[in-house]
């Protein structure tokens, strides 16, 4: 069912600060994310190393609020195997133990990506680029080591992250250049070998765009037809107020991907800040721009008109998610609270953003009351 974007009556309690609505007001509701959506889909968050290891307040908040967890960075290649054959399991082990103690579903993120990979992975013994066979062996060894350690404990994995360009063509990463386009097939086969019971996902951003959606459908079908299991597609939902402008594009992608397997909303946040170039919105972490007051306008809070747009955007998104809960198995926010969100430092360091439904004091924002009521 398609939604009509309309003004939503929201219950808002806001603290006025210089004509802006500050996100430090106290929510009066007792409902949690995981209780609100218990009959619909898993609801999750991504956690950082500091939050996992030392922040007891955040650990308690996460245990209370969420039914799913993803490691923000601590399961990526550079974190787990910075040197060949030398693994650092400390943070990942603690995350898995914490999740088990609280009955929280964990998704491993991510086994293969073109970012945050140590240089040695792509180098041969002579300093030249690694051969196809060497790189495939390293990929298999890494995947088997990581999944093997958590076999039976981590039930799902983001196997490949961001293999597509914006036009739906394959990104010519080092993986692509040194192995060839079949590197994805091998990655999913290696993951299935390591744990035949685990759910395996492809994950990418801007998959609401028709051309990138079509590329993802073709990519996943090709992998499946080659005999490697892909159980679902993760839509990284890095959005902004008014982005995407047409939310039915998200709905179209959910429907299209639902024909291939599970649909996951994997990295949800909604920025309230202006973006310097509409064409570059998404999640390309290689972007690095200079900070300016024009692009960091809400240091002290968000104007009422933009707060309302933020609220309406989130309400509209959750209407879509709930309309298609038969296809969606998980919705995960990329971060626990506004203070921790990566959106404060992308695409420029030092901005103040408010992209999550939990404020800087780890209080649920008032709009969550309206969002939770949608699931009743």
pLDDT tens, 303-319? Answer: 999 999 999 999 999 99
Contact 75, 117 (CB under 8 A): no
Contact 95, 149 (CB under 8 A): no
In a domain, 4, yes or no: no
Q: What is the count of structural domains for the chain?
A: 1
In a domain, 9, yes or no: no
Q: How would residue 297 be classed by pLDDT, with cut points 50, 70 and 90?
A: confident
* Backbone φ and ψ of 195, nearest 5°: -150, 95
Tokens standing for residue 282: 């998404």
In a domain, 5, yes or no: no
Q: Domain of 209?
A: 15-374
Q: Which of 251, 262, 267, 369 is catalytic?
A: 267
Q: Does the N-terminal peptide bond of residue 347 adopt cis geometry, omega within 30 degrees of 0?
A: yes
Is the confidence at residue 287, as pLDDT, over 80? no
In a domain, 173, yes or no: yes
- 267 annotated active-site: yes
Is the confidence at residue 25, as pLDDT, over 70? no
DSSP H stretches of helix in 102-226? 132-149, 174-179, 183-194, 210-225
In a domain, 152, yes or no: yes
pLDDT, tens digit, for every residue of 249-268?
Answer: 999 999 999 999 999 999 99
**Per-position DSSP letters for 270-290, written without gaps between them:** EE-S--S-GGG-S--TT----
In a domain, 117, yes or no: yes
Q: What is the domain-level CATH number for residue 195?
A: 3.20.20.80
In a domain, 8, yes or no: no
In a domain, 60, yes or no: yes
CA atoms within 13 A on the CB side of 285: 12
In the numeric block, the tokens 């506004």 are attached to: 338
Round the average pLDDT of the chain to a whole number and report it.
90
Q: How would residue 15 be classed by pLDDT, with cut points 50, 70 and 90?
A: very low
- 162 annotated active-site: yes
- Average pLDDT of the residues in 332-354: 90
Q: Which of 49, 72, 162, 262 is catalytic?
A: 162
pTM strictly above 0.85 = yes
pLDDT, tens digit, for every residue of 126-178?
Answer: 889 999 999 999 999 999 999 999 999 999 999 999 999 999 999 999 999 99
């Amino acid at each position: 069912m398609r939604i009509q974007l309309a003004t939503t009556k929201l219950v808002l309690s806001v603290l006025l600060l210089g004509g802006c609505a500050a996100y430090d007001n106290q929510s009066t509701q007792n409902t949690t994310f995981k209780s609100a959506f218990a009959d619909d889909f898993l609801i999750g968050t991504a956690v950082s190393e500091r939050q996992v290891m030392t922040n007891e307040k955040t650990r308690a908040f996460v245990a209370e609020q969420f039914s799913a967890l993803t490691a923000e960075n601590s399961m990526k290649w550079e974190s787990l195997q910075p040197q060949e054959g030398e693994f650092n399991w400390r943070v990942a082990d603690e995350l898995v133990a914490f999740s088990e103690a609280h009955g929280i579903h964990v998704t491993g993120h991510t086994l293969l990506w073109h970012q945050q990979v140590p240089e040695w992975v792509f180098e041969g013994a002579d300093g030249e680029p690694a051969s196809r066979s060497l790189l495939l062996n390293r990929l298999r060894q890494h995947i088997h080591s990581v999944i093997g350690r958590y076999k039976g404990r981590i039930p799902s994995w983001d196997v490949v992250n961001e293999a597509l360009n914006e036009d739906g063509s394959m990104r010519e990463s080092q993986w692509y250049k040194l192995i060839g386009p079949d590197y994805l097939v091998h990655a999913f086969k290696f993951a299935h070998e390591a744990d035949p019971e685990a759910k395996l996902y492809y994950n990418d951003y801007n998959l609401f765009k028709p051309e990138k959606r079509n590329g993802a459908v073709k990519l996943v079908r090709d992998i499946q037809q080659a005999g490697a299991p892909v159980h679902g597609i993760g839509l990284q939902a890095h959005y902004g107020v008014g982005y995407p402008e047409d939310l039915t594009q998200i709905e179209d992608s959910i429907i299209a991907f639902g024909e291939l397997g599970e649909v996951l909303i994997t990295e949800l946040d909604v920025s309230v800040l202006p973006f310097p170039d509409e064409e570059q919105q998404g999640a390309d972490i290689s972007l690095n721009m200079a900070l300016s007051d024009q692009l960091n306008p809400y240091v002290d809070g968000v104007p009422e008109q933009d707060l309302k747009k933020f609220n309406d955007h989130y309400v509209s998104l959750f209407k879509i998610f709930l309309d298609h809960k038969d296809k969606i198995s998980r919705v995960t926010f990329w971060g626990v609270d506004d203070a921790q969100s990566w959106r404060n430092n992308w695409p420029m360091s030092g901005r103040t953003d408010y992209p999550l439904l939990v404020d800087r004091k780890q209080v649920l924002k008032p709009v969550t009351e309206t969002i939770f009521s949608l699931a009743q």
